[in-house]
Amino acid sequence: MKKKLMRTLALAVLMAGISSVAHATEGWYGRADVGWSIDGELDGEFDDGINTGDFNTDLEDGFLGAIGAGYGFGNGFRLEGELSYRNNQWGPTNIPDPPDGEFQGDVNTWALMANLFYDFNRGGTFQPYLGVGAGGAKVDLGIDGAGSQADEVFAYQGLAGVGIRLSENAMLDIGYRYFMAPEVDASETFGGAYSSEYDYEHQAVTVGLRFAFGAAAAPPAADPPPVYTQPPVVTPPVVTCPTSDFVVYFEWDRSNLNQAALETIDAAVNRARECNVSGVVVVGHTDTSGSPAYNEALSERRASVVRDALVARGLAAGALTTQARGETDLARPTNDGVREPLNRRTAVTISFR
C-alpha cells in the first residue's frame, strides 16, 4: 500500500516539475468531480477468541462522486472542504474459519475531508497540482446473507492531477485519488460472534469542473492610492493627420474592457476614419505583480482584446499588429510585485499616409 502511494506521488512530482511556479489567482472556488475506481481492497482479520482468520479481497470497479469548496491563496496553496461518496462490490472470496465460507457483498463509503493543495504553473493553460487530505469516513460493509455494519473512522488521502484552463474562471480537472480508512470495525456483520476489523483502500481516477468565483480583494494600503482617470483624447487637426497614440487601462489581473477603455477605443477608431491608415500597432503591458511568464501572457491577452475591439469597429485586420511586453516596459518604474495602475495598459499607435 505504501509503495503504491509513493509511486503515485513521485509521478505527480515529475509531472509538476515540467512547469515553473507562477502567480496564483486568489479567491473562493467550488468544484464537482465524478470518477471510477481502478484499484482497491479490503484487508482484515476475524478472531473468535480461539482461531484467527485473515480476510482479503479486491474491490470491483465502482462509482465515485465528490463536491468541494475552498479558497486559493496568493502563494499557490488551496485549502478546501470536500464531501465524497464511493460504492463498490467485492467478492466472491473465501473467508477461512471463522466464519468459513465463500462470501460477497458491497461497501459504501461517505467521507468528509479537509484537503490542502499546491498548484503549479498557475498562469498557464495546464496547471498540475498535488494534494493531501484528512478527515472522517463512514464505511458501511455489507455481506450477502450475513448482514452489514457501518463504522465511523479516521481517513486520509493523497491527490494528484492537472487542471486545464477553459476560461478565466473555469478549469477542467483530471485527477487521481488514493483513499485509506484503516481499522474499520465489522464485528456485527455475523451477529457479533467474534471481533473483526479491516483496512479499506480505494484508488480512483476523476474528472470534474472547478469554478473560481473571483479574485480576493487587495488588503488596504497604509495610504490611499492616487486616483487615476482615463487621459483625455486630444484629436489633432484633420489636415495634418499625424501619428496618433491612445492608451487603454485595465483593472489588476484582468484583460476585459471597462467603460472608460471602450470610450478610448471609440475615439481611436473615429480618429482613424479621418485619414488613410497605413498601420496600427497594439502593445500590451502589465505591472510587476506576478511572475514574468504570467505577465507576458496577460499582456498578450490585453493586446488581443484591444485588437479585436478595433477590428469589430471597422479597422482592417491586415493593418493591425500586436506585441506583448509584459512587465519589461513600465510607464511608471516600480519595484517587483507592485500593483501600479499606470503600468496595466495597452498602447495603440495609429500611423497615416
CATH number at residue 32: 2.40.160.20
Looking at residue 83, its pLDDT comes to 96
Looking at residue 14, its pLDDT comes to 41
Instruction: Please list the residues that pair with 200 across neighbouring strands.
Output: 42, 181
Cβ-based neighbours of 236, under 8 Å, separated by 6 or more: 242, 244
Q: Quick check: pTM over 0.85?
A: no
List C-alpha distances in Å: 346 to 109, 256, 320, 324, 333: 53, 12, 14, 9, 16
Does residue 235 lie within any of the structural domains? no
One-letter identity of residue 176: Y
Does residue 86 lie within any of the structural domains? yes
Whether residue 248 sits in one domain with residue 166 = no
Looking at residue 16, its pLDDT comes to 39
Q: What is the pLDDT along the chain (353 residues), one digit of tens a residue?
A: 444 544 444 444 444 333 333 334 578 999 999 999 999 998 888 776 666 777 788 999 999 999 999 998 878 899 999 999 999 998 787 666 556 667 788 999 999 999 999 999 877 789 999 999 999 999 998 888 777 889 999 999 999 999 998 988 899 999 999 999 999 988 777 666 566 788 999 999 999 999 988 644 445 556 667 776 777 776 655 445 778 788 999 888 888 888 888 888 888 888 877 777 778 888 999 999 889 999 899 889 998 999 998 889 888 888 888 999 888 888 899 898 888 889 888 887 877 65
Whether residue 199 sits in one domain with residue 55 = yes
Whether residue 167 sits in one domain with residue 114 = yes
Whether residue 326 sits in one domain with residue 202 = no
Does residue 217 lie within any of the structural domains? no
| CA–CA separation, 103 and 126 (whole Å) | 45
Whether residue 320 sits in one domain with residue 205 = no
Looking at residue 35, its pLDDT comes to 95
Does residue 223 lie within any of the structural domains? no
Q: At what angle do helices 259-272 and 292-312 cross, to 10 degrees?
A: 50
We report the CATH number of the domain holding residue 335 as 3.30.1330.60
Does residue 234 lie within any of the structural domains? no
- Number of domains observed in the structure of the chain: 2
| CA–CA separation, 64 and 36 (whole Å) | 6
Whether residue 282 sits in one domain with residue 206 = no
Listed residue (187, 177, 22) closest to 115, CA to CA: 177
Whether residue 208 sits in one domain with residue 345 = no
Looking at residue 353, its pLDDT comes to 59
C-alpha cell at 296: 507576458
Does residue 57 lie within any of the structural domains? yes
| CA–CA separation, 36 and 66 (whole Å) | 12
| CA–CA separation, 43 and 244 (whole Å) | 76
Whether residue 160 sits in one domain with residue 29 = yes
C-alpha cell at 54: 485473515
Residue where a domain terminates, one of 197, 212, 227: 212
C-alpha cell at 235: 484629436
Whether residue 110 sits in one domain with residue 39 = yes
Listed residue (222, 205, 182) closest to 11, CA to CA: 205
Whether residue 302 sits in one domain with residue 182 = no
Whether residue 80 sits in one domain with residue 36 = yes
Whether residue 181 sits in one domain with residue 40 = yes
Does residue 113 lie within any of the structural domains? yes
Four-point Cα dihedral 188, 189, 194, 198, nearest 10: -100
Tell whether omega for the bond before 237 is within 30 degrees of 0, i.e. cis.
no
Looking at the chain, the number of H-run helices and the number of E-run strands are: 3, 13
- Whole domain around residue 301: which residue ranges? 244-352
| CA–CA separation, 48 and 209 (whole Å) | 48
Does residue 130 lie within any of the structural domains? yes
Residue where a domain terminates, one of 212, 233, 253: 212
| CA–CA separation, 124 and 164 (whole Å) | 9
Looking at residue 47, its pLDDT comes to 72
For residue 112, give the 3-state DSSP assignment. Answer: strand
